[in-house]
Structure 1
Amino acid sequence: MTIRVLALVGSLRAGSHNRQLAETAIKHAPDGVTVEIYDGLGELPFYNEDLDTEAGAPESAGRLRSAVSSADAVLVFSPEYNGTMPAVLKNAIDWLSRPFGNGALQGKPTAVVGTAFGQYGGVWAQEEARKSAGIAGAKVVDEVLLAIPHSVTRFAEVHPGSDTEVVEGLSKTLGRLVTEVA
């Protein structure tokens, strides 16, 4: 059995260090685990109940919901923007929280990791993302924390996949997610 982990990256920037972390998770996933990056977060309209009706939701929201529903677990990569998670990530969680009590995140093992420029590596953003995902119904894995500080200087010359500490942290996180799925 292959365990499918869907990665949601909260930065849309092409050179995003958080996207590089997600790419590292793909490369270093343990045997029997695949990690796939979801690339459509930038296409989602802002959550609006007028758009999310019994008749349907925007196609981009349907694709996200379907991708999360078919995954065994979710791994969120969050930078920190002004002390919290980026709007694109919060918006995705809002879409995934509906329909209320039966959204795509309901009971889904979910972990949050990331890197940020500041000295704490985005811990505030990660805390907010865990809180929001948990309220949306996810089974948040709180035991594994990976907040990598000083991203701009730490990864200026080195890809996160070449950083032993990063690879070990992602491996531990994926291992914990696998345990939650099993």
Structure 2
Amino acid sequence: MQIEKTLLKDCFIIKPRVFEDDRGSFFESYNHETFKKETGLEVTFVQDNQSTSKKGTLRGFHLQKGEHAQAKLVRVVKGEVMDVVIDLRDNSETYGKTFSIILNEQNNQQLFVPKGLAHGFITLSAEAIFAYKCDNYYNKASESGIIYNDKTLNIDWHLPKEQLIISAKDKELPTFKDFSNS
């Protein structure tokens, strides 16, 4: 497994080593000791989630705040998504910066999203199966986020606005300017 830094502190791309033969392929998607050694982070995942989405589904930007903040390890099992994170850590050198990556079943890459980053993705393929591990349990009262079309962040979602499928809840999230960590 190869681990690469991104421009956001403690946000990493994980590239597995894939073994292929006549039967198909195999790769180790996560190794606690390797992750700890390469990143210096001690993370224990306690929850594993999966969603399916059709093309144009935009999920996010979401995060858990306070004692329920979550780090996530995200990947695509089937299909393709553009995954985007925003640094919302108050004292971070990269506060307000974004990072995006294409995750798909061909590249098998994963993104480690540390606590304090809002996370979202858009499905670019006909369908996508998205899986993610969390290091803390979901708590509805701690849920927050940033609206997907924030003008300050100006994210290019790679699809026309009329093709986007967005939940009512995600349409009501605050702007980057109005977001508060408290």
- Scaled by the length of structure 1, what TM-score is found? 0.30
Instruction: Report the structure, 1 or 2, having the larger strand content.
Output: 2
Instruction: Report the structure, 1 or 2, having the larger helix content.
Output: 1
- Scaled by the length of structure 2, what TM-score is found? 0.30
* Bigger relative contact order, structure 1 or 2 (CA pairs below 8 A, ≥6 apart): 2
Larger Rg: 2
